[in-house]
Structure 1
């Protein structure tokens, strides 16, 4: 977990800067939130907002009522961060991306049973990526922000809670601004790095839309000494492979989202631990804790004692999310390697660059570490790739891809510890299924009529399990 999730704590921790302009309390800003907007402690929030050239319309954003994160502010902040280096895409880049994705799909057809998931191809600028993925980020982040706000509010000292009561509406809007500012900063940084719409391992683009970000593809290629066409095609293979999974594994998108939301539901406050931490923090303040002193309140918020402790439910959700993301990335690595084969001479170097990028904290790790405390471990990705590679080698690509037909068939986190044991069990299961099919040939069992039921399913009123014994 980050020390200050979603930016809770003072915006400026430099005491000298906080003290400039006087230490008196501003009645219009009793909690010192003006520091969030670059204020020096004096003047009304309206005056402070008026001094911000990047957020000239921030006063309108203070009326936000669309949820726990002010997404108007997040968007505006991220775009202002991207403005200096923004490069719109050209018609030539659109054509190059479309051709690369078309060829990638043709190559993937030869190595996987899953059909293409691409309905349209686009070349995005960094701002395009931001605009097109914001709805997906909203669905992921809003539940987390809502739970964090509730946990932090319930953990406030009694004195602060009493003060906050009459100003709950203002504090709610301020919370939205705080979240919006931090999320916007994170997404602006992410937009500088992502090379495809699925670079963070999640389906962020509209369904069926495959995209590359040419400006970031050029940055990815820098220093690799590989032709631009080869790098573009390698990344197009990865993008097209992701889309095959997300388009034809109907439960995958929802499972990933549910894991993030399960983490959010697990956020709660250990009142005793919070109380002990508050007592220690307030006791350690010079002159004691004074709820009327905005600097003391900001010091308390920034101490970390109000951060909710990670719960067993959260740990389980993160483990499930980490495993599922590793399985997605591992499958993509394997099928891209098979599709590239001898066609891309530089595939080995490009794949190694991608592995190093992930190991050093690429976009996925940075984003999830900020938003949900998840750190993707390269070991899990290697283990997942080992499972998929061994499945194809021992049982064929069709058996490998069939594991995506139901979440219960996928390797668990424990299975990734012993990939070859898992693959061996799949072989025994396949042999058992073949023997079952031989013994029950010609019997009218549940599932033989083309439905999704399987032989022996309890849905048949209990008659299914008896049929094999009668045969």
Structure 2
């Protein structure tokens, strides 16, 4: 994460360091068992590729977007790098002109770095896998081995079945982006459109009082209290895309699962219960960080995909990947028939 930390509004290296310390290690495995787990995840990712291609009819190259099996610390560092590539130009442009002594700026960079590190540290124990579409030319697939082992033990599911099930979901994301190279650029542009209009100075000056609103039962999400009506339009477009991506991946993993994963029904039932959070504090943090909205993306997106595929078939559904204009809006996610009429 090469950057001049003396001029950056966020100390990215400090964020990675804090996040790594907070992440913990997860289950400690004997060396031979750890090596076996890594090998199985790599193998399952390769096996999942063919299943995803056959089910979705999307043709993605095999030799792009590497698969990396990582621990929590490497996941934190990878995501700090992604945040830096997306956010640093925007944040530095917004805050760099504010008259502040160098020492004050350095202290502020440490504070924001610590805050980001805290978020990454919390998430690092929750994520099983992630496709990063913004890394390099084609992205990369990260599988977080300690978390996979932790969850398969917690849920008391068959390890080999569970690992392939996880890989089916994450491999679907790899196929979505590598079969449709325009998609990553479009999503990055939408994120830049959103972050480029954020008034970071106002957020810093008034943010605490507004953030309190997100703590209230039934209150807005953190993004909603920190955004304008114009920004919410962009958020709605991004929500539509993310609901499609997550719902499509869930439909694929459940569609392929019964044929290749004997215990898929047990896995799905157990895992769906876990997604709700395990305690009051965990659920509160999930809400503040938008993870409740993420869970809704899985549910609502999957319902949209199933409805459209049942109506028109997979090949006609794949018109959705033609370009930005054929992606569903947030409203269409809840009204699939409108999307069918508009696009097909």
Query: What range is the shorter-chain TM-score in?
Result: 0.7 to 0.9
Moved more, 236-245 or 95-104: 95-104
2:329 corresponds to 1:412: yes
- TM-superposition CA deviations, 1:400-458 (whole Å, max 9, x none): 122111111122122123123433555xx3xxxxxxxxxxxxxxxxxxxxxxxxxxxxx
SS at match of 1:385: helix
Residue 260 of structure 1 deviates from its aligned partner by 2.7
**Match of 1:71?**
12
Gaps of 5+ in 1: 1-62, 154-164, 275-299, 430-471
Take 2:235 and 2:93, find their aligned partners in 1: how far apart are those partners? 16
Q: Is the 8 A contact 1:86 1:125 kept in 2?
A: no
Task: Indicate the larger mover: 375-384 or 313-322.
Answer: 375-384
Question: Do residues 140 (structure 1) and 86 (structure 2) align?
Answer: yes
2:52 — aligned with what? 108
Q: Secondary structure at the match of 1:210?
A: strand
Is the 1:73–1:177 contact (alpha carbons within 8 Å) kept by the matching residues of 2?
Answer: yes
Offset of 1:243 from its aligned partner?
A: 0.2
Structure 2 counterpart of 1:226? 157
- Post-superposition offset of 1:333: 1.1
Q: Which residue of 64, 70, 73 corresponds with 1:127?
A: 73
CA contact (8 A) 2:26 2:147 kept: no
Q: CA deviation at 1:137?
A: 1.9
Residues 116, 146 of structure 1: CA spacing in aligned structure 2 closer, same or farther, 3 A cutoff? same
1:189 aligns with 2:133: no
Structure 2 match to 1:449: none
Distance 1:67 1:86, change over 3 A: farther
Counting matched residue pairs gives 320
CA distance in 1, matches of 2:339, 2:184: 24
Q: Which structure is richer in relative contact order (CA contacts within 8 A, separation 6 or more)?
A: 2
Deviation at 1:342, TM superposition (A): 3.0
CA distance in 2, matches of 1:264, 1:381: 24
1:254 and 1:177 map into 2 onto residues whose CA distance is 31
Q: 1:367 to 1:265 in 2, by over 3 A?
A: farther
> Secondary structure of the equivalent of 1:115?
coil
Which deviates more from structure 2 when the two are superposed, residues 347-356 or residues 168-177? 347-356
| Separation in 2, partners of 1:412, 1:186 | 28
- The question of whether the paired residues in 2 share the 8 Å contact of 1:93 and 1:123 is answered with no
Aligned to 1:345: 262
Aligned to 1:237: 168
In structure 1, C-alpha distance between the alignment counterparts of 2:39 and 2:342, rounded to whole Å:
46
Alignment TM-score, normalising by the size of structure 2: 0.78
CA displacement 1:258-297 (0-9 Å, x = unmatched): 33332223323899xx9xxxxxxxxxxxxxxxxxxxxxxx
Structure 2 stretches lacking a partner, 5+ long: 213-224
Change in Cα spacing, 1:235 to 1:178, as seen in structure 2 (3 Å) is same
Greater C-alpha radius of gyration: 1
Distance 2:207 2:319 in 1: 49
Distance 2:269 2:92 in 1: 39
**Aligned residue among 111, 117, 121 for 1:178:** 111
In structure 2, C-alpha distance between the alignment counterparts of 1:189 and 1:415, rounded to whole Å: 32
CA RMSD of aligned residues (A): 3.7
Q: Which moved more, 1:140-149 or 1:237-246?
A: 140-149
Asked whether 1:265 is paired with 2:174, we answer: no
Confirm or deny: 8 A CA contact 1:97 1:121 kept in the other structure. Answer: no
How far apart are residue 188 of structure 1 and its match? 1.8
1 CA distance for matches of 2:325 and 2:58?
Answer: 19
Structure 1 CA distance for aligned equivalents of residues 23 and 297 of structure 2: 33
Q: Aligned match of 2:243 in 321, 326, 329?
A: 326
Aligned ranges 1:27-42 → 2 under 5 Å? none
Shift of 1:183: 1.0
Judge conservation of contact 2:15–2:117 (CA < 8 Å) in 1: yes
Distance 1:323 1:354, change over 3 A: farther
Q: Distance in 2 between matches of 1:368 and 1:140?
A: 23
* Greater per-residue helix proportion: 2
**Which of the numbers 95, 101, 104 marks the counterpart of 2:39?**
95
